[in-house]
């Protein structure tokens, strides 16, 4: 009801209306994710109406291509596919005690040996650790040259993230933000000195409209942004701003050893990395992809829809 009859090019106004109308129940989570989806559709519409790629609408091109790291279970496969680094999960957490910690370190050691000394490696903890466990882990992984440790704590533990960053005596960077929402959530992370790198998901955190604000906010703190993997939506944001140096690509193939579209069969022409690089077609308007309409259906019937 907030969208019907509105000019789709009034993107800022529509975002503000959606945000304010749902603020009492939707400051984080599913509501913001829904706003994000609508916002991205509006930017795609604007690009197609103006026959320009979205990145040209929000600032133009700051780079000719995006280096990609792969999120996967097997970093050696990612290296063989040409990616510029790899991020992998750990199988054990605090509940597994010292025995689990030893197994985690052994896995890290084995992966480092398999890819060599110079290939960038990152670890994804997916909100599963505690402050003491994270500090111990940071100490033990020092010999293996880990680039960053990601999302060690649940997203609302700002004090915990701040403590880890303050007590971190290693060169391993600390990252989070995949499950944070809107500029206000990211301002908390910045004001409390929680991170070295922010990782908003453009399809969750408020869409392109809000992520532009998050990017500007982070630049004032000299904090780079590496968005959580959201394919074309983050690619266009990264093309348009200089403080987004690299991209995440999720290896979702069954064996994790081949490249397949992040959005599956949703688009006919989702761009894929070649030798670890994403390049956007400057002649494709909007986000540069074509929706595959096979088997699509409207989830509800709109009684007010004009026939």
CB 138 within 8 A of CB 168: yes
Name the β-bridge partners of 67: 277
From 99, 179, 228, 236, active-site residue: 228
pTM of this structure: 0.94
Helix locations, 23-65, DSSP H: 30-50, 54-57
Contacts of 251 (CB under 8 A, 6+ apart): 70, 71, 72, 77, 78, 81, 257, 258, 259
The token duo for 43 is: 């930017």
User: End-to-end CA distance of the chain, in Å?
Assistant: 17
Angle CA 283–284–287, to nearest 5: 140
Cα–chain center distance at 13: 25
Q: Any residues with CB less than 8 A from the CB of 107 and at least 6 apart, and which?
A: 90, 91
**Contact between residue 282 and residue 289 where contact means Cβ atoms under 8 Å apart:** no
Main-chain dihedrals φ then ψ at residue 36, nearest 5 degrees: -60, -45
How many CA atoms lie within 13 Å of 123's alpha carbon, on the beta-carbon side? 28
Residue that has been written with the tokens 């680039």 in this structure? 147
Q: What is the pLDDT along the chain (307 residues), one digit of tens a residue?
A: 788 899 999 999 999 999 999 999 999 999 999 999 999 999 999 999 999 999 999 999 999 999 999 999 999 999 999 999 999 999 999 999 999 999 999 999 999 999 999 999 999 999 999 999 999 999 999 999 999 999 999 999 999 999 999 999 999 999 999 999 999 999 999 999 999 999 999 999 999 999 999 999 999 999 999 999 999 999 999 999 999 999 999 999 888 899 999 999 999 999 999 999 999 999 999 999 999 999 888 777 766 655 4
Is 228 catalytic? The answer is yes
Domains of the chain, each with CATH number or no CATH: 57-278 (3.20.20.120)
**Three state DSSP letters for 88-126:** EECCCCHHHHHHHHHHHHHHHHHHHHHHCCCCCEEEECC
């Amino acid at each position: 009801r907030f969208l019907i009859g509105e000019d789709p090019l009034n993107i800022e106004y529509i975002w503000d209306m959606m945000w304010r109308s749902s603020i009492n129940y939707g400051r984080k989570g599913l509501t913001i994710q829904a706003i994000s989806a609508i916002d991205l559709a509006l930017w795609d519409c604007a690009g197609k109406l103006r026959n320009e790629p979205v990145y040209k609408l929000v600032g133009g091109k700051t780079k000719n291509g995006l280096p990609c790291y792969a999120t996967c279970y097997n970093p050696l496969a990612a290296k063989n596919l040409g990616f510029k680094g790899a991020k992998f999960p750990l199988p054990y957490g605090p509940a597994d005690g010292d025995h689990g910690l030893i197994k985690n370190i052994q896995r890290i050691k084995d992966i480092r040996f398999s890819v060599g000394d110079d290939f960038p490696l990152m670890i994804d903890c997916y909100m599963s650790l505690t402050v003491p466990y994270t500090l111990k882990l940071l100490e033990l992984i020092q010999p293996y040259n880990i680039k960053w440790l990601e999302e060690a704590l649940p997203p609302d533990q700002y004090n915990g993230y701040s403590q880890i960053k303050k007590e971190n005596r290693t060169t391993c960077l600390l990252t989070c933000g995949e499950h944070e929402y809107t500029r206000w959530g990211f301002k908390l992370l910045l004001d409390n000195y929680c991170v070295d790198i922010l990782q908003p998901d453009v399809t969750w955190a408020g869409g392109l409209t809000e992520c532009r604000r998050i990017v500007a906010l982070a630049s004032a703190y000299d904090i780079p942004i590496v968005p959580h993997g959201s394919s074309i939506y983050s690619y266009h944001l990264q093309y348009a701003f200089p403080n987004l140096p690299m991209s995440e690509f999720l290896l979702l193939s069954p064996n994790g050893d081949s490249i397949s579209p992040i959005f599956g069969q949703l688009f006919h022409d989702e761009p894929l990395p070649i030798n670890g690089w994403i390049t956007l077609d400057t002649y494709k308007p909007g986000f540069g992809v074509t929706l595959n309409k096979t088997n699509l259906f409207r989830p509800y019937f709109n009684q007010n829809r004009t026939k």
